[in-house]
Amino acid sequence: MKQDAKSKLALNTYTKLMRGTESVTARVGRKMSDAGLTISQFGVLEALLHKGPMCQRDVASKILKSTGNITLVIDNLEKQGLVQRERSLEDRRYCTVLLTGKGRELIVATFAEVEAAIIAEMGVLTDEEQQTLGKLCKKLGLREG
């Protein structure tokens, strides 16, 4: 294949990857916003649900956002009574963040919705296609830079 055609293929593939992903993200994201949650808020609650209480730094690394960001997201979740901060007694630099009852209820229900939406989205691909897609995406993500 000529270099020029190779470039076109690469750009074309990139575009399809972006469009497809955005499209899926938008539809799955709607389940979150239907529940009154942003994607980040959902991510925080989901991490707390599945990994248990943790400090803000760990939350940040779990959802791949900056710590400055997490402060605000948790502020907003706290205002809504979905999570609670507890300053650690042993090391007062740490804030442990934990779900409230209300928060747990909401994230359990919303997670189920989101999970179903993801399964529906991926359902347009056969199992084999999904495996292939996963493999290719993993390859793309590898060279962490």
Partner DNA sequence: CTGAAACGATTAAATGTCAAACTATTTTTT
Partner DNA sequence: AAAAAATAGTTTGACATTTAATCGTTTCAG
Q: Which residues bind a second copy (CB under 8 A)?
A: 1, 6-7, 9-14, 16-25, 27-28, 64, 115, 118-119, 121-125, 127, 129-134, 136-145
Q: Contact region for DNA (CB under 7 A) — 45-53, 67-75, 105-113, 127-135?
A: 67-75
Give residue 118's identity as a one-letter amino acid code.
I
Q: How many residues bind DNA (CB under 7 A)?
A: 26
The Cβ of residue 104 has, within 10 Å, a number of other Cβ atoms equal to 16
> Is residue 98 within 8 Å of 87, Cβ to Cβ?
no
Distance CA 67, CA 28 (A): 25
Tokens of 111: 């997670």
Q: Which does 74 bind (CB under 5 to 8 A by kind): a second copy, DNA, none?
A: DNA
Number of residues in the chain: 145
Out of 3, 4, 5, 91, which residue is the one contacting DNA (CB under 7 A)?
91
